[in-house]
Amino acid sequence: MPAAIGQELVALLPRLRRFALVLCRSQPLADDLVQGACERALANADSWSPGTKFDAWMFRILRNYWIDHLRRMRTEGMAEDLSQQTQLIGDPGEGPILSRLALTDVQRAIDNLPQEQREVLLLVCAEDLSYRETAEILGVPIGTVMSRLARARKRLMELTAAA
Amino acid sequence: MSQLHLSDEILMAFADGELDGPTTTAIAKTMAEDPAVAKRITDFQQSRRLTRSVFSAGSMLDVPPQLRASVSAQIETYEAARRASSDSHVESARRGWFHRKSSFVQMALAASIAAVALSLGYFAGSREGAGAGGLMAQLETPAVHRTLSTIASGQDVELPFGRLRVISTYRLADGSLCREFRLQAAKEATNAVACRRNDWNTTFAVAIAVTEAEYAPSDGDDLMTTYLRNISAGEALMGDAEARALAEPGR
């Protein structure tokens, strides 16, 4: 099974990177995240149970990788490297990759949602994962997924209603 | 059915096909009778379509060639290592190593790098030039131990052989306190973890290139992350929690 993991990984790259962009909104950082998450996945290839969804497993690894980095940057960034730290959190002034594509109001509206809403939106509406699968990836109860998702979608409809 | 509370979450779940039979039927009936409810549901359907089209825009799914190349290289290394280790016992040796918790010290420095590098499927060869001799030898000095007992995460102290900076502090399941820190000299740097049992003992160390001026998550940094995960480091202790932990007598 892990023999095929390489192919699975390559096939999943576009969607992994898309999720990474939703998490950090910075193209260079997103690429680093994907690279690091792939490394971590290969190192733990044996922990993937065949028959379970590979994409959900990878999304969880990617997100945990991102959280590990936020955690370490938070402590390490206290004394210096403030600029680096803000970049990591996704400084809006940094020209996030998404803004270049912000041709529509929907795009802009999504960009302006909090990260916790953007990620559920992507996982459910674009990745077509179930609420339960999404909850497992994020490590939160289904009710939390639902309330974040409903808030995000209502906000989108409000923001785009005038357009 | 008028008892059914039509929250946004319920209507959204209906729109997404996430509800079970009886509730679905009840909502479908209400939807037919109440245009306002119907509107709320179609709004949720619409938001899903809009979101999908934004996220499916071609450029969102373009993978830069460099990223594709570097992941392909990782996969090749992984597959080569798999073939090579299928008839050796590297894997079990590595597991055993992480479970041993005492008498690490010097051997630990070399072995842990090798062990973690193996588990990641590549070798730390690129870091050999950073010099495992000089700074690594300072990790067990009293000055380092004293500093580890006193300063908070994020602080620096200048020592005769370099600058010591504590990065983060963790409490392991067995209660022992561990600190991740960096020792930086002019030409070399070391990232290490020390845990306190009576005194501080270095349990992991990796030499890193000093030219590493920019954020580079997938090198020595990732070895460290892997190590911290292997010892189940969990959440870093911050602020008061960290200060209290440091004030406890060594155990």
Choose between A32 and B92: higher pLDDT: A32
Binary contact (A13, B153; C-beta < 8 A): no
DSSP string, B27-68: HHHHHHH-HHHHHHHHHHHHHHHHHHHHHTSGGGGPPPHHHH
Over range B34-49, report the average pLDDT.
Answer: 91
Alpha carbon distances (Å) from A128 to A56, B41, B55, B56: 11, 18, 12, 12
Question: pTM of this prediction?
Answer: 0.55
pLDDT value at residue A131: 96
Over range B68-92, report the average pLDDT.
Answer: 78
* Complex prediction ipTM: 0.77
* Alpha carbon of B44: minimum distance to chain A alpha carbons (Å): 7
Q: Does B64 touch chain A (CB under 8 A)?
A: yes
Amino acid at position B241, single letter? A
Average pLDDT, chain A: 80
pLDDT value at residue A162: 53
The CATH number of the domain covering residues in A1-84: 1.10.1740.10
Alpha carbon distances (Å) from B79 to A10, B85, B91: 14, 10, 15
DSSP string, B114-177: HHHHHHHTS-GGGGGGG-SSTGGGGTTSHHHHHHHHHPPTT-EEEETTEEEEEEEEEE-TTS-E
Distance CA B26, CA B6 (A): 10
Choose between B230 and B160: higher pLDDT: B160
- Indicate whether B131 pLDDT > 50: no
Distance CA A103, CA A34 (A): 26
Domain boundaries, given as residue ranges, for chain A: 1-84, 92-162
Give the whole-number percent of chain B exceeding pLDDT 70: 72
pLDDT digits (tens, 9 = 90+) for A20-51: 999 988 888 999 999 999 999 999 888 888 77
Structure tokens given for B209? 């290139």
Choose between B120 and B142: higher pLDDT: B142
Residue to test with chain A: of B42, B46, B50, B59, most A Cβ within 10 A: B50
Residue A131: list chain B partners with CB under 8 A.
13, 16, 18
Cβ atoms of A84 and A63 closer than 8 Å: no
Residue A123: list chain B partners with CB under 8 A.
none
Q: Does domain A92-162 have CATH number 1.10.10.10?
A: yes
* DSSP type of residue B213: -
Sorted by sequence, the CB contacts under 8 Å of residue B246 that are 6+ apart come out as B149, B150, B152, B169, B177
- Indicate whether A58 pLDDT > 60: yes
pLDDT digits (tens, 9 = 90+) for B153-199: 888 888 888 889 888 888 888 888 999 988 888 777 888 889 888 78
